Structure 1
Amino acid sequence: MPQDVDSVASPSDADADAVDLIVGQWRGERPDLDPSPMHVVGRITRLHWALDERLCRVFERYDLGRGEFDMLATLRRSGAPFELTAGELRGSTMVTSGAVTKRVDRLERAGLVNRRAAEDDARGRLIRLTDRGRELIDEAVEQHVRNETRLLAGLTADERSALTDLLRKLGQTLPSE
């Protein structure tokens, strides 16, 4: 049986959280199972929900959803001329072509991007940030980074670095489906 997380670090009652309670309940109800992976996966899941809510507050100030922010940010970080094909956007944002089209339609209506035919492919479309879109994403990403910094303020620089390395490793070692 793998080493139990509880045997490595048991929180004091004051430090225990909802995940500790859940794991404890499973230990009582199903002593034949090792619920220790819940310590990690449960916390990552709960953190995802909490972080997503706090991140979206910044996007909403700019009348953007997460996906629209992601598209504008992808175009902006691509460098001048801040233009990508729909396929490149889809690859960078990991959404379906239909989702890209829907988001680009909304961003175009808002005057934040425009589309044009690709010179080498009449069926292909290039999506480019407008000046207004660039101004908006530059301001929004500044607020986004400030928000992320605030959200991580409870960790030291060394802890953030260690967490970064551990999360990268977890991402690289997840079994492929």
Structure 2
Amino acid sequence: MSGKTYPLAGNVRMRVLRASDAERMTDAYRLNRDHLAPWEPERPEEFFTTAGQARVVASKLAQHAEGSEVPFVLLDGDRVAGALTLTGIVRGPFLSAHLGYWVDKEYNGRGIGSAAIAAAVGFSRQELGLHRLQAATLTHNAASQKILKRSGFEEIGLAPRYLRIAGSWQDHILYQRILY
């Protein structure tokens, strides 16, 4: 499962995260710190270090080995152009996961987010056998809402104070895509 590479837009490709990606992830998060801050939880300073990213990557890979997460990295050569993660993978009668992603500020508007979501949808259906993907956006994140809708996700409701983002509990619009 971790060996396949998915071509996206331009030279960007997507593959499962590797332990050797920690330094690249550090560089990407440092470059995009201000860009991502309004959309993500507050991060401790350690998060922006190679040692911190090595711990994050190790945790994600442990969850991947357990079958509860698939962490993808979006790469343009050796540069991280973003990330996409399938988390909270549930088996049994639910067969569902949560999709989250971000794209480097310099790569916005190039179709990379849409291509990554399309690849993740195919992977979720074909490789994981999932029935459903869910995603959530801040109520004011029009760009992500547009990408999700274009990718076949439908709005299913509002979750008040859903996640602690940028230091405060914020409402999110929930989306889903039924895969089969």
Q: Higher relative contact order at CA 8 Å, sep ≥6: structure 1 or structure 2? A: 2
TM-score interval (norm. to shorter):
under 0.3
Between Structure 1 and Structure 2, whose CA radius of gyration is higher? Answer: 1
> Which one has the bigger helix percentage?
1
Name the TM-score, length of structure 1 as normaliser.
0.26
* TM superposition score normalised by structure 2: 0.26
- Return the structure number with greater strand share: 2
